[in-house]
Amino acid sequence: MPSRTYESFIARIKEIRAAQSVQELLEWDQQTYMPKKGAAYRAEQVGLIAGVAHDKLTSAELGRELAELEREGDGGDDAVATNVREMRRLYDRAVKLPTRLVQEIAKATAPASDTWVAARKDSNFALFAPHLEKLLTLKREVAERIGWQTEPYDALIDEFEPGARAAEIQTVFDALRRELAPLVTAITQAPRQPNTALLKRAAPVEKQAAFNRTIAAAMGFDFDAGRLDVSAHPFCTGLCPLDVRMTTRYDEHALGQSLFGVMHEAGHGLYEQGLDPAQVGTPMGTYASLGIHESQSRLWENQIGRSRPFWQHYFPKLQAEFPAWADVPLEDWHFAINTVRPSLIRVEADEVTYGLHIMLRFDLERQMLAGRLAVSDVPAAWNERMKQELGITPPNDAQGCLQDIHWSLGIFGYFPTYQLGNLYAAQFALAARRALPDLDGQLARGELRPLREWLRQNIHRHGRRYRAGELVQVVTGQELSHRPFIEYLRAKYQPLYGF
């Protein structure tokens, strides 16, 4: 039987999560339905609720309950052990931050996000620069108050990937970069190349939206417990397993953009819907890390959504809905959706070059936070790195350093989790194939639920029982490595491109 202290503790942390979810709902609304002129008042609303949540998280009562529960012990109950351990971590971080600072950050993000949209539209980084300066100043204060041993970035990345350190990630990324660069060269110089023009054929937006919902539902996304809307930047917000909000964006001549965007966000959504409903509002009912979260979206988007078995079933359905592709052979479609070509926009990048986009952002963020890169120099530094890494130079800020929403939301330390997600996904996919030896056959028959169930039982339901690195070992029997990802890419792209 749970002690009275534990029952009180659970009620208290569920209140904290409820307040945080209200803030997330306000932020979702800002990106989807809020009138443009509502940004200033939204900043007040977000600031208020952020302060309420922070006050609850740093309350003396919660501190006393944590101390008492740590003295009591967990009695061998994994849920108790996880909830107490993870709330201790969150509490110890939060009490170092004054409510004033938390509210300042929350208030600063609403106008920054609104200005980012305008700056991106006009391709004018100078318009956004003062907001970036302010948010960096606030985030440096966060890092200093939380504390760090090697560099300030460690204090921020720990929020998204608990226990991760920038230097350790850099080691993995360096090894990855050494193998990615020659692979990109081999693919782009291969004599056989896909016909990318067929991806630009016209597809009515309303039909895209209907087809995307069909795919997400087949994956197992429950639309009675979720939504799919439109925003400038696709994202997924999980308020609880019974209320998960996804967004995408549409272009009549870019069917793949919305389709794979929805598969990506639905991967996130399945994770949120797959968390233990009995643990809503607790760490046991929360995703392990953002890298693990990203592994779910990248696995569905790329390893499944761009696989030939998947399209054996769904390409005839796509052709029936979109006659513009009626004359396209399956092989040509499959080759085209696996085009590898250096590109300007991260969210439109192929899975081979995508990591280079992430490593660029990882490096620039670390430099900005440490004060080695001035905000005014960001566009030039961005363009130079794009030229070095991908051999192309952005023609303007909108297609360069203004393309991502993250900095306008005060999110620093998040970007590396995207590439960590690719690495986790490769290892999880290998484990899934061992457990589901007929996976390709299931995909070819349109049977996507067995994979979802495997992911739910082996990853989603664990919540924060394990840290990301531990979870990878539990599920795959191996430590995190770049090797499975590289081997997956070679096995897939060498036959396609014939190099």
CB 199 within 8 A of CB 335: no
Rg (alpha carbons) of the chain, rounded to whole number: 22
In this structure, the number of other CB atoms found within 10 A of the CB of residue 446 comes to 14
In this structure, the number of other CB atoms found within 10 A of the CB of residue 75 comes to 11
- Alpha carbon 319 to its chain centroid, in Å, reads 30
CA distances from 196 to 27, 193, 254, 332, 341 (A): 36, 9, 11, 9, 10
> In 3D, which of 306, 296, 308 has the Cα closest to residue 418?
296
Q: What single DSSP character describes residue 191?
A: S
Alpha-carbon gap, residue 79 to 215, rounded angstroms: 34
Return phi, psi of residue 243, to 5°: -150, 90
Return phi, psi of residue 370, to 5°: -80, -5
Alpha-carbon gap, residue 220 to 352, rounded angstroms: 27
Tokens of 262: 């929805």
Coil vs helix vs strand at 407: helix
Helix-, strand-, coil-residue percentages of the chain, each rounded to 5: 70, 5, 25
The enclosing H or E element of 227 equals: strand 226-230
Read off the amino acid at residue 123: S
Long-range contacts of 226-234 (CB under 8 A, 24+ apart): 226/269, 226/273, 228/262, 228/265, 229/32, 229/33, 230/32, 231/31, 231/32, 232/31, 232/117, 232/120, 232/405, 233/31, 233/347, 233/404, 233/405, 234/261, 234/264, 234/265, 234/347
The one catalytic residue in 27, 86, 265, 272 is 265
Read off the amino acid at residue 277: P
Question: Has 265 been annotated as catalytic?
Answer: yes
> In 3D, which of 153, 125, 170 has the Cα closest to residue 365?
153
Helices (H), 230-338: 255-274, 290-298, 308-321, 330-337
Coil vs helix vs strand at 240: strand
CA-based torsion, 384, 390, 392, 397: positive or negative = negative
Q: Is 351 exposed, middle or buried (0-12, 13-18, 19+ CB in 10 A)?
A: buried
**Catalytic residue ranges:** 265
